Structure formats: C-alpha cells, structure tokens
C-alpha cells in the first residue's frame, strides 16, 4: 500500500515554483520533526526563505503542509507494516511492527503527534489513520490466532502504548534516545499469551479511542 492510493492527485508546477515548494518541504520537515504538528508556519516560511503568503499559496492549510512533509515517514511506516505481515513467525512480526512504529516516533516529533491524534476535519488523514488501524489489527490478530499474543489485547491497547511511548520519548530523547526500546520490550513481555492475567478494566471502545485521539489534538 502506498500513499498515492489514499491521497488526491497533484498538479504539475513551474521550475521556480517547484524549487520554492521543495524549500518549504525541507523547512517543514525540520520544524515538524523538532517541534511537532503545531510548529510555527511563520518559522517554516522564514527558514525556507519565502514570505508566509508564498507558503499558503503552496499549502493552503497546515494539514496539507504537514501531510506533504510527513509523506516519506508515513510511507516508510506503511512499508514496514507490510513487511511485518510477511515474517513467518507471527510473534516476530508483531515485534517488528512495533519496533518499526516506535523507531519512527523516536525520530520525528511531528510523526509522533500524527500517530497519537485524529484530525476529523480532514478526509485524507482519516483514510491514513484507518489504514494504520487496520494494519495494527492484522498484525495483532495474526499473533493472537497463533496463540502467542494474549487474546484480550485490542487496537486501543496498541494506541495506548503509542501514547505512553510518545511521552517517554519526549522525556528521554536528549539524555537516553534509545530508552524507548527497553520500555517496548517490557511491554512485549506483558503481551505474551503465557503472561496473561485477568485485567481490572475493559479496553477502550472504538468510539472512546477515537474521541480520545481527537481530544489530544485539541489540548496537547
């Protein structure tokens, strides 16, 4: 699966416009990676050497700029998720999927924010998130069917792990940039079928999960 399957067609540009477009994308990738999805558009325009009006001519909304800037990272993640399903051992596939996911989080705060939130006003992001959620379910169901992952884990539990890992990355990226891997492997032990014990609370429903991701976009 590629992003071209879920994104609208793009119109060709003149050479000078393409150059400004690429400078904006380069600046946006740096700013979003460092500061998250709420990075200053004015700073991005300044770093690209253009006026803010030029930025808006190329990318009329923040979300259009964000999606264009994150495209390589999102595609890399989608490709990795596909590889996880090709790994013969379902548990190894689940581990590969989560390592690929969290490595992307650790390397890009904008991607971390994108994974953690929902943007209900944008049909394109909704399609991407729906695809990601389906991949989570496919990788997880395969491990559960093989009896190696505990049967009561849901997509919401994986998203909860994304949230907690994101906070951990924020806290440790400057002092221990690989600390997320220890946290992941501790959680993977809890996900093994043989470690399963009754849980005191049910998982979030799909509606609760969606609402929580939207709320993060409003308050984070």
Can you spell out the DSSP letters for 92-144?
Answer: HHHHHHHHHHHHHHHH-HHHHHHHH---TT-HHHHHHHHHHHHHHHHHHHHHH
Q: What is the mean pLDDT of residues 187-208?
A: 88
The answer to whether residue 167 scores a pLDDT higher than 50 is yes
Q: Which residues, other chains included, contact 153 with Cβ-Cβ below 8 Å and sequence gap of 6+? A: 140, 144, 191
Angstrom distance (rounded) from CA 52 to CA 43? 9
First to last CA, the chain: 30
Angstrom distance (rounded) from CA 91 to CA 146? 8
Q: What is the pLDDT of residue 182?
A: 92
Domains annotated for the chain, with CATH where assigned, are 11-60 (1.10.10.60), 71-219 (1.10.357)
pTM greater than 0.75:
yes
């Amino acid at each position: 699966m590629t992003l071209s399957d879920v994104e609208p067609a793009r119109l060709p540009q003149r050479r000078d416009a393409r150059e400004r477009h690429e400078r904006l994308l380069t600046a946006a990738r740096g700013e979003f990676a460092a500061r998250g999805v709420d990075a200053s558009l004015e700073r991005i325009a300044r770093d690209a050497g253009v006026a803010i009006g030029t930025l808006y001519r190329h990318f009329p909304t923040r979300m259009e700029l964000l999606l264009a800037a994150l495209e390589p990272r999102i595609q890399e993640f989608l490709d990795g998720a596909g590889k996880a399903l090709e790994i013969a051992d379902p548990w190894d596939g689940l581990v590969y999927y989560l390592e690929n996911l969290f490595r992307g989080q650790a390397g890009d705060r904008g991607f971390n924010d994108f994974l953690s939130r929902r943007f209900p006003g944008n049909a394109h992001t909704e399609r991407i998130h729906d695809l990601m959620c389906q991949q989570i379910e496919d990788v997880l169901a395969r491990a559960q069917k093989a009896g190696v992952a505990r049967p009561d884990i849901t997509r919401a539990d994986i998203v909860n792990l994304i949230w907690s890992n994101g906070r951990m990355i924020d806290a440790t990226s400057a002092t221990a940039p690989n600390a997320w891997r220890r946290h992941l492997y501790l959680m993977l032990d809890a996900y093994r079928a043989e470690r399963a014990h009754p849980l005191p609370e049910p998982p979030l429903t799909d509606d609760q999960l969606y609402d929580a991701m939207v709320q993060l976009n409003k308050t984070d």
